[in-house]
Amino acid sequence: MNISVLGCGRWGSFLAWYNARNGHTVINYGRENSPSYQQLKIEGKNKWVALDERITLSSDLQHSVESADIIIIAISSQELRSFFSEIVKFSYKDKIFVLCMKGIEAKTGKRLSEVAIESGIANDKVAVWLGPGHIQEFIKGKPNAMVIDSHSRELNNQLIEVFKSDLIRFYIGSDIIGTEIGAATKNIMGLIAGGLDGMGLATMKGALMSRGAREVARLIGALGGNELSAYGLCHLGDYETTLFSEHSHNRKFGEAMVKGEKFTHLAEGVATAHATLALAKSVGVDVPLTSAVADIMNGASPKEVMERMFARDIKTEFE
């Protein structure tokens, strides 16, 4: 297959490497002036992967879009709508778009597949590729399991045949609402996990895993999805890589946040927390953990927020 990966940062460059490893012809697109693109252009590699003859590095968006059968997008979730406004200037209607991104659009509360569809992509041409896994582990040959989901079971099956390998076992998604919401909100739980680490309260991660998944399940159900999706690979199944891993940007951000330190890498959970809180309010769902994150990011004392959480009314365990 001819596959274009739009985005050449950490995840995008890995996806280019992975698809070339699978035998596909790959273009890895990046903006000419981006540091990630310049590093690949000058050195032919970054700290994670090296380009080879199967991968063409390009800053020509039109060529990258129009020469592909499948277009994978791996950029910041908050930039997706503006990026699609550029893509739709070209011949794109026969292309399949796969979003390898986790987030909720902060300004609208929309899932990323909804952003794609509102931008002009047909709903049977949009899929998401989500689930656990860190590049640092994949490139060492350590396998993991992930999910492909869309509005079309046929498209799911087609893409799994294209992307499957001995490195990633794919499962067929059947609830795109739950898959996307679960994947986005696990980053919020990563922020909380980092906060617990920073406060010396890692013992509370068990409670976080239990109550976090329940909070997200309620939200998924209220949005029309299947609550069980919160307990699948895209949410609970991704907790190990997000709540515990040394590679998790969201966990590191949360730890730095409660310590009053700076963390400069992208942590998608920051924008997602505010978007999720607004989304939950719109459907009348209580999301205390998400609210706690938003309060801390707005300047509240982590210690005071923790005390408030413990003072909440007593609930039954699965409420």
Which residues are known to be catalytic?
Answer: 186
Decide if 133 contacts 241 (C-beta within 8 A).
yes
Type of residue found at 302? P
Residue labelled with tokens 């986005």: 184
Decide if 31 contacts 61 (C-beta within 8 A).
no
Decide if 232 contacts 172 (C-beta within 8 A).
no
Instruction: Report which DSSP code applies to 29.
Output: E
Rounded Cα distance, 156 and 261, in Å: 42
Q: Which of 219, 191, 180, 229 is nearest to 77 (CA)?
A: 180
Decide if 26 contacts 57 (C-beta within 8 A).
no
Decide if 96 contacts 69 (C-beta within 8 A).
yes
